[in-house]
């Protein structure tokens, strides 16, 4: 059978791996070998070892852009990442190629991995994309901006893309590889498994492309019981490095609701300081399948998996984006009327007020339920079966 390689280069947290493991299981059940090259090895033992998926460290970048919520274009994202320095890009391309030559895959499934995709262009194996619209821009030149037209000019979009292309082609020339004309060529693939829906797509400009439905996995993690002090229930998934974590904790402390809060690496000092009968702290991921039907509100950083999974259950959200990808998802959720979002630079931010609004105003719940009803025919199991079927079709075509 085939050797299938999952590659993940950019981004953080559980969603990249937990969103892939159900598909990996389906592919393994068909006899295929699944291997991975991943950015964050700290998650591998927990999420990949139980699935018997071998893993390698991805060539990593210093993601300076990850703290920015105002990145306007994919070209700008690459420039902030390091695509201003051809020698650095060349080194990472060569490292990816050495990994490919060691592993010898038949097919790669690329998560958020532009450098991995660039490095794969000269190899004969099949290539697929698997992720949200942010990971896979529309096939347009130049790639459209994430931002509203008033925030960036068409000429600025072109200029940012041209700078990235110049760096890319200088690096490709060092490796005797074919240059690219347009940035969108990075995403040339045998199939683009666009795992989102139109309402949550990062690019409103996308036309005529198939959506494969939301990618999420609510079953990863430990079971956590509600404290059962109040009628209303809130689940929060917050990074321990969130700059305004204490302000949020202060608001939750005086909220009349049962709260389960997951934050990996949360200090014992904060846990003891905000200890209360109605708050359960968990440093381990929480299995949301046990909470989704009773949850009245989810608070998170707008990761697409958590947002999509909870909206499918009709749960409104308070979103606290920390970077550009999350901000766009937060805006889309707000446009649906199914949530609010707060940025660290919002001068009017008030966590307690936003939490109370979301709990008390029925429109948020109604709009979340409307989203859920619209997509009620979606089946994650059927999605994974369909994607695995298509992967096998592609593999067969490549072997003919």
Strand order in the sheet with 126-131: 54-57, 33-38, 3-7, 107-110, 126-131, 191-194
- Mean pLDDT over residues 58-70, rounded? 68
**Cβ atoms of residues 275 and 250 within 8 Å:** no
- Mean pLDDT over residues 232-258, rounded? 96
Dump the DSSP string for 210-223: -----------SB-
Residue 53 pLDDT exceeds 90 = yes
The position carrying tokens 């009349």 is 256
Number of residues assigned to the chain: 400
What mean pLDDT value characterizes the chain? 93
**Cβ atoms of residues 55 and 36 within 8 Å:** yes
| pLDDT tier for residue 49 given thresholds of 50, 70 and 90 | confident
- Sequence-distant (6+) residues with CB within 8 A of 374 are none
Specify which residues 192 forms β-bridges with. 129
Give the model's pLDDT for residue 68. 56
The sign of the torsion formed by the CA atoms of 142, 329, 300, 49 equals negative
287-337 residue pLDDT tens = 888 888 899 999 999 999 999 999 999 999 999 999 889 999 999 999 999
Give the model's pLDDT for residue 139. 92
Residue 211 pLDDT exceeds 70 = yes
Give the model's pLDDT for residue 64. 56
Q: Which long-range contacts (CB under 8 A, 24 or more apart) does 345-353 make?
A: 345/69, 349/244, 351/244, 351/247, 351/248, 351/250, 351/251, 351/318, 352/251, 352/254, 352/255
- Mean pLDDT over residues 232-259, rounded? 96
| pLDDT tier for residue 66 given thresholds of 50, 70 and 90 | very low
Residue 67 pLDDT exceeds 60 = no
Kindly state the tokens that stand for 392: 């096998």
Per DSSP, the three-state class of 296 is coil
351, 356, 358, 361: CA torsion to nearest 10: -150
Give the model's pLDDT for residue 149. 67
108-120 residue pLDDT tens = 999 999 999 999 9
List of domains in the chain = 3-213+379-399 (3.40.50.2000), 233-374 (3.40.50.2000)
Strand order in the sheet with 317-319: 279-282, 258-262, 233-237, 297-300, 317-319, 339-341
181-201 residue pLDDT tens = 999 999 999 999 999 999 999
Task: Tell me the pairing of strands 279-282 and 297-300.
Answer: unpaired
Kindly state the tokens that stand for 164: 């990235």
């Amino acid at each position: 059978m085939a050797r299938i390689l999952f590659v993940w280069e950019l981004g953080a947290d559980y969603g990249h791996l937990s969103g892939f493991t159900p598909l990996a299981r389906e592919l393994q059940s068909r006899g295929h070998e699944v291997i991975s090259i991943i950015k964050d090895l700290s998650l591998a033992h927990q999420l990949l070892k139980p699935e018997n998926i071998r893993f390698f460290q991805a060539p990593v970048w210093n993601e300076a852009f990850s703290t920015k919520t105002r990145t306007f274009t994919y070209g700008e994202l690459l420039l902030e990442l390091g695509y201003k320095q051809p020698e650095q890009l060349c080194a990472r391309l060569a490292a990816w190629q050495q990994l490919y030559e060691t592993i010898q895959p038949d097919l790669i499934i690329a998560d958020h991995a532009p450098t991995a995709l660039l490095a794969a262009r000269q190899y004969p194996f099949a290539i697929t994309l698997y992720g949200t619209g942010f990971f896979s821009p529309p096939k347009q030149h130049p790639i459209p901006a994430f931002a509203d037209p008033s925030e960036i000019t068409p000429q600025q979009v072109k200029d940012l893309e041209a700078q990235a292309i110049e760096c890319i082609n200088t690096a490709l020339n060092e490796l005797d590889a074919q240059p690219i004309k347009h940035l969108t060529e990075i995403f040339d693939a045998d199939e683009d498994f666009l795992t989102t829906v139109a309402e949550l797509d990062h690019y409103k400009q996308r036309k005529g492309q198939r959506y494969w439905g939301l990618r999420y996995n609510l079953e990863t993690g430990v079971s956590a019981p509600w404290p059962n002090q109040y009628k209303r229930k809130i689940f929060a998934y917050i990074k321990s490095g969130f700059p305004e974590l204490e302000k949020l904790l202060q608001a939750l402390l005086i909220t009349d609701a049962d709260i389960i809060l997951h934050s990996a690496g949360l200090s014992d000092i904060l846990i003891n300081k905000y200890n209360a009968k109605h708050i359960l702290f968990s440093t381990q991921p929480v299995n949301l399948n046990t909470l989704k039907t009773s949850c009245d509100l989810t608070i998170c950083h707008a990761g697409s998996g958590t947002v999509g999974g909870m909206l499918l259950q009709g749960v409104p959200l308070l979103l606290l984006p920390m970077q550009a990808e999350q901000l766009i998802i937060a805006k889309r959720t707000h446009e649906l009327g199914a949530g609010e979002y707060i940025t660290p630079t919002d001068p009017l931010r008030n966590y307690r007020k936003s939490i109370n609004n979301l709990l008390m105003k029925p429109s948020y719940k109604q709009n979340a339920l409307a989203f859920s009803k619209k997509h009620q025919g979606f089946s994650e199991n059927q999605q994974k079966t369909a994607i695995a079927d298509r992967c096998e079709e592609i593999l067969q075509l490549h072997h003919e």
